[in-house]
Amino acid sequence: MLIRRPSDIRPSEITDPALYRERRSFITGLAALGATALFPLPASANTKLPSVKNGAYRTNSAPTPYQDVTTYNNFYEFGTDKESPAILARNFVTRPWTVMVDGLVKRPTTFGIDDLLKLPLEERIYRLRCVEGWSMVIPWTGLPLSAILKRVEPTGSAKFVEFTTLYDPKRMPGQRSSVLDWPYVEGLRLDEAQHPLTLLTLGLYGEVLPNQNGAPVRVVVPWKYGFKSAKSIVRIRLVEKAPLTAWMRAAPNEYGFFSNVNPAVDHPRWSQARERRIGEFFKRATLPFNGYGEQVAAMYAGMDLRKYF
Ligand code: MTE
């Protein structure tokens, strides 16, 4: 290999800065024209989000690199492949944004996103296991959902919590296709929603949530398959009956309401016994409840987890 030293390079071979700037603006112009799919630009730096590290929620595994966390996503509102959300959500506008918390509660409240961001937030490192067989380890920033539920005071008849993602096909191009019955709806039993592990999530890696990861606010439920962790939510409704979720509507034999990570119960089309941690070569064994059994298994005592999958 021939390596040239700087002294070997003639001034005429160095790009004139004016020409360089011209090329840059040409490339930026292309990007503005929608050519970003051809020339993906690096994700722009996000706003820092201060929080206190909660040492109780750590793991021995190294966090998945930021680059993978933010470019390998499932977010059908921005395309069905893993790469599209990072590109198609780049200009998604998340202000103004409110989350309405209502239904069977004594104090229905609409929270502005900037008020949520001012609450005391903590960082927790969680493993997230996708139903498709891959997993990541992500430092999330947020607050226990239970803190918000406490404020609205669920009534005695509230048994479940329903999460609804924004419905706006103008801003979410994936909603112009009928791949799912929009809006994306997910749900938890009330005790699951109140469980200390359930995180109302506003950031990751110490920054506000990147758009492709569910900005400006999502839930993260680490002992369940990733699809239970609904993104870009606008409504949290307390209800009496189990909500009909988007995935149950799409394929009820494949996606149950509980969707607890369970290596012993296969997806009808593939095994759930093993998973590939993004960034690793060899697969590893999937753990019951994604390794959070000690904290959550008691909530399912006596339930047949094959039936309630
Ligand atoms: N939320 C909405 N609104 N739309 C989606 O398509 N995909 C789910 C979940 N939340 C999804 C969603 C799935 S299948 C997974 S695995 C996780 O988001 C992925 O979250 P991440 O991209 O931040 O890793």
Confidence of residue 12 (pLDDT cuts 50, 70, 90): very low
Return d(Cα 227, Cα 231) in angstroms, integer: 9
pLDDT at residue 8 tops 80: no
Instruction: Give the 3-state secondary structure of residue 187.
Output: strand
Return d(Cα 291, Cα 295) in angstroms, integer: 9
Of the candidates 146, 94, 139, the residue with the CA atom closest to the CA atom of residue 119: 146
| Mean pLDDT estimate for the chain | 89
pLDDT at residue 113 tops 60: yes
Instruction: Give the 3-state secondary structure of residue 113.
Output: helix
Q: What is the pLDDT of residue 45?
A: 65
Contacts 24+ apart (CB under 8 A), 288-291: 288/260, 288/261, 288/262, 288/263, 288/264, 289/223, 289/260, 289/261, 289/262, 290/127, 290/128, 290/129, 290/135, 290/222, 290/223, 290/224, 290/261, 291/127, 291/223
Per-residue model confidence as pLDDT tens digits over 54-102: 988 988 899 999 999 999 999 999 999 999 999 999 999 999 999 999 9
CB of residue 175 inside a 6 A radius of ligand 1: no
Task: State both tokens at 74.
Answer: 């499932």
| Atom 17 of ligand 1, residue of closest alpha carbon | 226
The CA radius of gyration of the chain, in Å to the nearest whole number, is 22
pLDDT at residue 23 tops 50: no
Residue 19 Cα, ligand 1 centroid: separation in angstroms? 42
Classify the C-alpha dihedral 165-170-173-176 as positive or negative.
positive
> Residue 85: what residue type?
P
pLDDT at residue 29 tops 90: no
pLDDT at residue 24 tops 80: no
Q: What is the pLDDT of residue 4?
A: 41
CB of residue 231 inside a 6 A radius of ligand 1: yes
Q: What is the pLDDT of residue 116?
A: 98
pLDDT at residue 175 tops 70: yes
| Mean per-residue pLDDT, 244-257 | 97
Q: Which one of 82, 199, 231, 286 would you pick to mutate in the ligand 1 pocket, going by the greatest count of ligand atoms within 8 A of its CB?
A: 231
- The H or E element that residue 201 is part of is strand 199-204
Residue 269 Cα, ligand 1 centroid: separation in angstroms? 20
Lowest pLDDT segment from 7-16, 67-76, 81-90, 194-203: 7-16
CB of residue 259 inside a 6 A radius of ligand 1: no
Q: What is the pLDDT of residue 46?
A: 83
Sequence-ordered alpha helix ranges (H) in the chain: 17-32, 66-69, 84-88, 113-118, 145-152, 190-194, 246-250, 293-296
Paired residues of 260 in beta bridges = 224
Is residue 128 a contact partner of residue 220, using CB atoms and an 8 Å limit? yes
Residue 240 Cα, ligand 1 centroid: separation in angstroms? 25
CB of residue 76 inside a 6 A radius of ligand 1: yes
> Residue 101: what residue type?
V
| Mean per-residue pLDDT, 188-195 | 98
Residue 73 Cα, ligand 1 centroid: separation in angstroms? 7
pLDDT at residue 14 tops 80: no
Length of the chain equals 309
Q: What is the pLDDT of residue 44?
A: 53
The rounded percent of the chain whose pLDDT value lies above 70 is 85
pLDDT at residue 119 tops 50: yes
Q: What is the reported pTM?
A: 0.87
Residue 105 Cα, ligand 1 centroid: separation in angstroms? 27
Q: What is the pLDDT of residue 60?
A: 86
Which tops the pLDDT comparison, 180 or 4?
180
pLDDT at residue 51 tops 60: yes
Residue 227 Cα, ligand 1 centroid: separation in angstroms? 5
How many other C-beta atoms can be found within 10 angstroms of the C-beta atom of residue 243?
Answer: 18
CB of residue 229 inside a 6 A radius of ligand 1: yes
Lowest pLDDT segment from 2-11, 86-95, 101-110, 292-301: 2-11
pLDDT at residue 178 tops 70: yes
Q: What is the pLDDT of residue 59?
A: 86
CB of residue 230 inside a 6 A radius of ligand 1: yes
Per-residue model confidence as pLDDT tens digits over 205-226: 999 999 999 999 999 999 999 9
The domain 10-300 is placed in CATH, from the list 3.40.50.800, 3.40.50.720, 2.30.30.230, 3.90.420.10, at 3.90.420.10
